[in-house]
């Protein structure tokens, strides 16, 4: 078990466009294991991209319903016209939340931890997490996607945070 430090806003890795992974070798397997260990050890973590542990490679994990799934070189190959607005938070912008519009459904093609290609059709919360994490790989943060930046707000107490956690992405 190896948890890594999650870097926060201001760290240059969060603004880098992560590089494509050409071979899923032992070092990549170690990286995705560390991503899983780190997100699963983080309260309310729903996903984590490699940039967030300062590794500028195109790998992310989702952790929806506490089930880890690895996406290497993920690409959105289909998306719905329908969009949906919900509150998001980010493990790299701790304590801050704001509403973001996302596609309701996306189909993502990627490689798994064995280097095998797969496709996932995701909807609602899972689709939101995937869009948030793929943004990270492109150096984009949820605050960049907010139409009205004045709606960015801080959640101070644990109690408030508990009330919000069911509907929010902490990724
Ligand atoms: Ni994030």
Q: Residue ranges per domain, the chain?
A: 12-164
- Tell me the CA–centroid distance for residue 25 and ligand 1, in Å: 26
Q: Which secondary structure element, helix H or strand E, spans residue 132, and what is its range?
A: helix 124-137
Q: Whole-prediction pTM value?
A: 0.94
Q: Which secondary structure element, helix H or strand E, spans residue 130, and what is its range?
A: helix 124-137
Fold of 12-164: Peptide Deformylase (3.90.45)
Known catalytic residues are 133
- Tell me the CA–centroid distance for residue 22 and ligand 1, in Å: 24
- Tell me the CA–centroid distance for residue 132 and ligand 1, in Å: 6
Q: What does the pLDDT profile of the chain (171 residues) look like in tens digits?
A: 799 999 999 999 999 999 999 999 999 999 999 999 999 999 889 999 999 999 999 999 999 999 999 999 999 999 999 999 999 999 999 999 999 999 999 999 999 999 999 999 999 999 999 999 999 999 999 999 999 999 999 987 666 666 665 556 788
């Amino acid at each position: 078990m190896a948890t890594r430090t999650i870097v926060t806003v201001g760290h240059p890795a969060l603004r880098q466009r992560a590089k494509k992974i050409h071979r899923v070798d032992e070092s990549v397997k170690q990286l995705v294991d560390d991503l899983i260990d780190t997100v699963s050890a983080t309260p309310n973590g729903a996903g984590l991209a490699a940039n967030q542990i300062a590794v500028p490679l195109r790998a992310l994990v989702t952790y929806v319903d506490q089930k880890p799934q690895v996406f290497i070189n993920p690409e959105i190959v289909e998306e719905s016209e329908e969009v949906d607005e919900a509150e998001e938070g980010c493990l790299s912008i701790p304590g801050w939340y704001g509403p973001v519009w996302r596609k309701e459904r996306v189909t993502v093609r990627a490689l798994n931890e064995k280097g095998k290609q797969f496709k996932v059709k995701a909807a609602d919360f899972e689709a939101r997490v995937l869009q948030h994490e793929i943004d990270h790989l492109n150096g984009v943060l949820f605050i960049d996607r907010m139409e009205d930046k004045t709606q960015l707000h801080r959640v101070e107490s644990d109690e408030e945070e508990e009330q919000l956690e069911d509907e929010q992405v902490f990724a």
